[in-house]
C-alpha cells in the first residue's frame, strides 16, 4: 500500500514548459518589437524622436485597452466583435451626459463605463443563456451599438468644448508635473488598466474561471461552477474595457465621434493573438496582449514614417495577424507531438 504508484510520466522540463506555454509566442512578439524598433530607427531619424514615441504610445492606448478586455473573452474560448462600436457608443453616451445634459465630467465617465459594461453583459447573457454563438451574438451587438451611437448623437459629433478638464484627463501629463517627462495620462491609463487586468487574471476567482471555461467548458460546468454567470461576467469585463476605451478616445479627441469605431475590434483581437492568446481558449496573458498592441502600432507608425501608403499598411497588418495565428498552430502541433 505504501509503494509510490502513479507518477507524472513526463517531468515538466524547462524546455517543455517553454514550448507548451504561450511564453514563447509572447517572446516572439517581443523579439519582433525589438527588431522593428531597430529597423525603423535605422531607417528614419524621425522614428526615435520623443514626439514620435509619444505618438506611438497614444496610438497604442485605445487599442491596447480594447485588446486587454477582449483577451478575457478569447481566453474563455469566445470572441467579441462588438468592442469597437461599443467603444463608440460609450463615448457618445459620455458626450450626451456631459455636453448635452451638462452633468459633471465624472458622471459622464461613469455613464460611459456603465454603457460598455451593460452592452458586454448583454452579450454574455445572449451567449450563455440563449446559446447564441459568440460570433453571431457580438456581430449583432456590433450593429446595435453602431446604430444606437448614431441615433443618440443624432448623427453629429458631440464636442466637449465646455469641459476642458475632460480632455485634460487624457492629454494632460500628471507624470510630467512630477518628473518632467511629458507623457500624456492616456498612457498611464493603458498601463494601469493592464496592471489591474493582469492581476485579475492571475490572482482572482474570475481569472481562474476564465481560464477554466476556455480550457474545458463542460468540465467546468460539471465541477459545479456556474459557467453561465461567469461567462456573462467575462463579456461584461470586455464591455467595461470597451467603455473605458470609449471614454479615453472621447477625451483624447475632445469629442465623441459617432461614426468611428468599426475596425477597432479587429486590431484589438489581432493584438491579443499576436501576443500569444490562443483563439481556441485556455491560454493568454495581458503582458502578451500589450506587447501585441505595440507591435501593431509601431508597425503602423514605422510604415507611415517610411511613407508606405495607408492601404499597404493595412495589408501588412493583416498578413502579420495570419502569421501570428499560423505560428500558434505550429506551436500547438509540435506540442501535441512532444
Phi then psi dihedrals of residue 8, to 5 deg: -60, 125
Count how many Cα atoms sit within 13 Å of the Cα of residue 82 in the half-sphere of its side chain: 38
In the three-class reduction of DSSP (H, G, I as helix; E, B as strand; rest coil), residue 159 is classed as: strand
Position 206 contacts other proteins (CB under 8 A): yes
x-or-dash pattern for other proteins, window 220-239, by CB under 8 A?
Answer: xxxxxxx-------------
**Grid coordinates of 108:** 459622464
- DSSP letters spanning 176-199: HHHHS----HHHHHHHHHHHHHHH
Rg of the chain over Cα atoms, rounded to whole angstroms, equals 21
**Grid coordinates of 31:** 523579439
Position 20 contacts other proteins (CB under 8 A): yes
221 or 304: whose CB is closer to other proteins? 221
Out of 80, 265, 267, 283, which residue is the one contacting other proteins (CB under 8 A)?
Answer: 283
39 or 222: whose CB is closer to other proteins? 222
Position 162 contacts other proteins (CB under 8 A): no
Out of 38, 136, 205, 316, which residue is the one contacting other proteins (CB under 8 A)?
Answer: 205
x-or-dash pattern for other proteins, window 184-203, by CB under 8 A?
Answer: -------------------x
Q: How far is the CB of 162 from other proteins (least distance, A)?
A: 39
Position 14 contacts other proteins (CB under 8 A): no
Position 267 contacts other proteins (CB under 8 A): no
Query: Quick count: other Cβ atoms within 10 Å of Cβ 327?
Result: 17
Q: How far is the CB of 270 from other proteins (least distance, A)?
A: 22
- Give the range of 26-34, 116-124, 208-216, 268-276 binding other proteins by CB under 8 A: 208-216
Rounded Cα distance between 101 and 88, Å, is 18
Position 102 contacts other proteins (CB under 8 A): no
Rounded Cα distance between 119 and 144, Å, is 10
239 or 282: whose CB is closer to other proteins? 282
Q: How far is the CB of 18 from other proteins (least distance, A)?
A: 12
Count how many Cα atoms sit within 13 Å of the Cα of residue 46 in the half-sphere of its side chain: 10
Rounded Cα distance between 239 and 119, Å, is 6
Alpha helices for 254-309 (secondary structure H):
264-274, 286-305
Residues making contact with other proteins (CB under 8 A): 1-2, 4-10, 12, 16, 20, 203-208, 211-212, 214-216, 218-226, 282-283
Amino acid at each position: 500500500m505504501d509503494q509510490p504508484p502513479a507518477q507524472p510520466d513526463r517531468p515538466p522540463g524547462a524546455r517543455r514548459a517553454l514550448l507548451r506555454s504561450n511564453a514563447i509566442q509572447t517572446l516572439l512578439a517581443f523579439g519582433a518589437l525589438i527588431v522593428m524598433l531597430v529597423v525603423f530607427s535605422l531607417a528614419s531619424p524621425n522614428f526615435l524622436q520623443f514626439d514620435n514615441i509619444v505618438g506611438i504610445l497614444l496610438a497604442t492606448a485605445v487599442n491596447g485597452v480594447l485588446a486587454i478586455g477582449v483577451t478575457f473573452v478569447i481566453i474563455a474560448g469566445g470572441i467579441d466583435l462588438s468592442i469597437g462600436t461599443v467603444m463608440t457608443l460609450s463615448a457618445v453616451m459620455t458626450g450626451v451626459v456631459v455636453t448635452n445634459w451638462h452633468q459633471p465630467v465624472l458622471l459622464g465617465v461613469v455613464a460611459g463605463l456603465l454603457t460598455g459594461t451593460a452592452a458586454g453583459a448583454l452579450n454574455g447573457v445572449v451567449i450563455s443563456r440563449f446559446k447564441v454563438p459568440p460570433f453571431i451574438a457580438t456581430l449583432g451587438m456590433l450593429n446595435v451599438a453602431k446604430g444606437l451611437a448614431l441615433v443618440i448623437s443624432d448623427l453629429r459629433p458631440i464636442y466637449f468644448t465646455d469641459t476642458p478638464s475632460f480632455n485634460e484627463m487624457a492629454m494632460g501629463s500628471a507624470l510630467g508635473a512630477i518628473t518632467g517627462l511629458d507623457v500624456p495620462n492616456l498612457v498611464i491609463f493603458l498601463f494601469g488598466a493592464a496592471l489591474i487586468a493582469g492581476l485579475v487574471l492571475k490572482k482572482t476567482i474570475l481569472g481562474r474561471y476564465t481560464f477554466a471555461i476556455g480550457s474545458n467548458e463542460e468540465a467546468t460546468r460539471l465541477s459545479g461552477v456556474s459557467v453561465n454567470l461567469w461567462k456573462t461576467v467575462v463579456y461584461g469585463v470586455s464591455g467595461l474595457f470597451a467603455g473605458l476605451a470609449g471614454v479615453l478616445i472621447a477625451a483624447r479627441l475632445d469629442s465623441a465621434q459617432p461614426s468611428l469605431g468599426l475596425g477597432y475590434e479587429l486590431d484589438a483581437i489581432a493584438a491579443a493573438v499576436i501576443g500569444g492568446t490562443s483563439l481556441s481558449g485556455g491560454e493568454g496573458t495581458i503582458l502578451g496582449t500589450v506587447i501585441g498592441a505595440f507591435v501593431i502600432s509601431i508597425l503602423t507608425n514605422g510604415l507611415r514614417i517610411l511613407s508606405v501608403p495607408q492601404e499597404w499598411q493595412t495589408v501588412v497588418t493583416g498578413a502579420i495577424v495570419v502569421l501570428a495565428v499560423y505560428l500558434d498552430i505550429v506551436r500547438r502541433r509540435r506540442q501535441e507531438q512532444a
